[in-house]
């Protein structure tokens, strides 16, 4: 759902990467001669998440799809030296240990040597990778309480829905929410560091581009979503459903800024509302503790969707911006803006942007995303207004990407085709909102128009999806 990399207290510096490494004997091969083109790791490796001994060895258990396995293998990311190689990895979501069942027909040196599977797999699993199956099975009973012990020293956070009511998109969680807890843990202690080290394989496998956080840096906080359930013996078991890593930066003179760096709901529990539950708890923490703002590091589209749903719920209940929204909606309803040469962009007033940051901790860039959705909801999706509304979105997208007719203030750079030096030619321009665009439009004028229209269509689609999520019965 979100991503990304390590932080130090200074966000402008590149932190030193850290990784815990353990050792265990897995594969001993013999050398034979023969050609070898290598095999892609994704073609011979299957990873299953299991929650009991009985699921180990069952191939219809929950199989995950890693974002990238090639990066954990040397050379060009392929595995060399094995004929008929199959690697089945069982990863326990109870003890968070892993066991690798490796089979192959023979080994051969085809000029690339034989890939050291032990070292490569430890790049992912480190000391959580156990030596044999019996040892792995034993962890289900010997370490089934490790989550409960780990979170016992943390702070249980109470979840509060915006405006005192339950949001539409996670109401089914709240109905049975008594067994859900979000626990905040400071990373700079043994219990939290030990727990996170067991979660590192999931971070590496499932969060695109992420590196492990520095568990010695007290600026990091770990928020874990726990479900408490009784087992057959009526004992309370703690099941980890997901987690997020947040860094607190200093904000002059005596404040802090919260930045979400990693968030993951374990695959078996995804698409059930747990992600939005976690994000809403974090938003409430930012508001209650009066941080300067709450930002997200390089969010994926899927996470951005969840984040915006949560923020829209807060904004709909936020009285200070209602007049600004009503004014924008009324102006849009009054005239055929789509027929005008220069349609206005409907930028929110600076006071509304600052009110949202101060009270709801929604930063400027995110508020601009939400603003267009608030206007859409205010129009009640009446067809006669949609042409004008789409003209507003199109005008904004074009201004953001091309920087033309945008009222120029913030600097932006786009690459342009050039016979002089295609790699270094560019155009610098300024935009009204000052936010840099990460989208580049290349090619002929016809191709640019097609690409711009695709961006507009995609934005309209996102807006409608979020509106449907927020008001499922009204849109």
In this structure, the strands spanning 255-265 and 294-296 are parallel
How would you classify residue 76: left for phi > 0, otherwise alpha for psi between -120 and 50, otherwise beta?
Answer: alpha
Choice among 221, 280, 297, 372 that is catalytic: 297
Q: Whole-angstrom Cα distance, residue 95 to residue 93?
A: 6
On the 0-12 / 13-18 / 19+ scale of CB atoms within 10 A, 148 is: middle
Copy the structure tokens of residue 69: 């396995």
On the 0-12 / 13-18 / 19+ scale of CB atoms within 10 A, 81 is: buried
| Under 8 Å between Cβ of 294 and 362 | yes
Q: Whole-angstrom Cα distance, residue 190 to residue 457?
A: 49
Residues 6+ apart with CB under 8 A from 239: 51, 93, 94, 147, 226, 227, 228, 229
Copy the structure tokens of residue 280: 């809403």
Cβ neighbours around 168 below 10 Å, total: 17
297 is a catalytic site residue:
yes
On the 0-12 / 13-18 / 19+ scale of CB atoms within 10 A, 457 is: middle
> What positions carry a catalytic annotation?
297
């Amino acid at each position: 759902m979100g991503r990304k990399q390590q932080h130090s207290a200074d966000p402008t510096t590149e932190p030193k990467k850290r990784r815990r490494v353990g050792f265990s004997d897995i594969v001993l091969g013999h050398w034979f001669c023969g050609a070898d083109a290598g095999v892609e790791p994704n073609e011979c490796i299957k990873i299953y998440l299991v929650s009991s001994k009985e699921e180990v060895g069952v191939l219809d258990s929950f199989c995950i799809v890693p974002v990238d396995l090639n990066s954990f293998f040397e050379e060009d990311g392929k595995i060399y030296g094995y004929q008929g190689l199959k690697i089945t990895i069982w990863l326990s979501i109870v003890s968070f240990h892993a066991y690798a069942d490796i089979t192959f027909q023979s080994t051969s040196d085809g000029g690339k040597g034989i890939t050291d599977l032990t070292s490569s797999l430890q790049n992912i699993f480190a000391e959580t990778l156990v030596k044999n199956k019996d040892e792995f099975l034993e962890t289900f009973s010997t370490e089934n309480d490790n989550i409960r012990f780990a979170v016992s020293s943390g702070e249980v956070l109470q979840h509060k829905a915006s405006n005192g009511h339950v949001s539409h998109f996670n109401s089914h969680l709240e109905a049975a929410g008594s067994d859900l807890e979000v626990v905040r843990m400071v990373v700079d202690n043994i219990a939290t560091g030990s727990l996170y080290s067991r979660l590192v394989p999931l971070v590496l496998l499932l969060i695109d581009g992420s590196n492990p956080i520095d568990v010695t840096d007290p600026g990091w906080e770990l928020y874990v979503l726990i479900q408490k359930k009784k087992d057959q013996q009526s004992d309370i078991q703690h099941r980890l459903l997901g987690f997020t890593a947040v860094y607190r930066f200093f904000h002059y003179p005596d404040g802090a800024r919260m930045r979400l760096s990693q968030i993951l709901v374990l695959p078996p529990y995804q698409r059930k509302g747990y992600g939005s539950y976690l994000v809403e708890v974090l938003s409430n923490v930012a508001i209650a503790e009066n941080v300067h703002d709450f930002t997200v590091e390089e969010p994926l589209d899927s996470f951005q969707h969840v984040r915006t749903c949560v923020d829209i719920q807060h904004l709909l209940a936020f009285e200070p911006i209602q007049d600004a929204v009503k004014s924008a909606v009324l102006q849009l309803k009054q005239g055929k803006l789509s027929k005008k040469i220069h349609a206005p962009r409907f930028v929110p007033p600076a006071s509304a942007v600052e009110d949202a940051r101060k009270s709801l901790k929604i930063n400027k860039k995110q508020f601009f995303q939400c603003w267009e959705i608030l206007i859409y909801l205010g129009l009640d999706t009446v067809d006669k207004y949609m042409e004008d509304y789409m003209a507003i979105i199109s005008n904004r997208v074009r201004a953001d990407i091309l920087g033309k007719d945008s009222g120029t203030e913030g600097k932006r750079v786009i690459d342009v085709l050039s016979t002089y030096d295609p790699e270094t030619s560019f155009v610098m321009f300024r935009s009204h909102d000052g936010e840099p665009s990460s989208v580049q439009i290349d090619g002929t004028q016809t191709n640019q128009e097609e690409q711009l229209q695709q961006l507009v269509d995609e934005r309209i689609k996102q807006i409608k999806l979020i509106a449907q999520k927020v008001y499922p019965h009204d849109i």
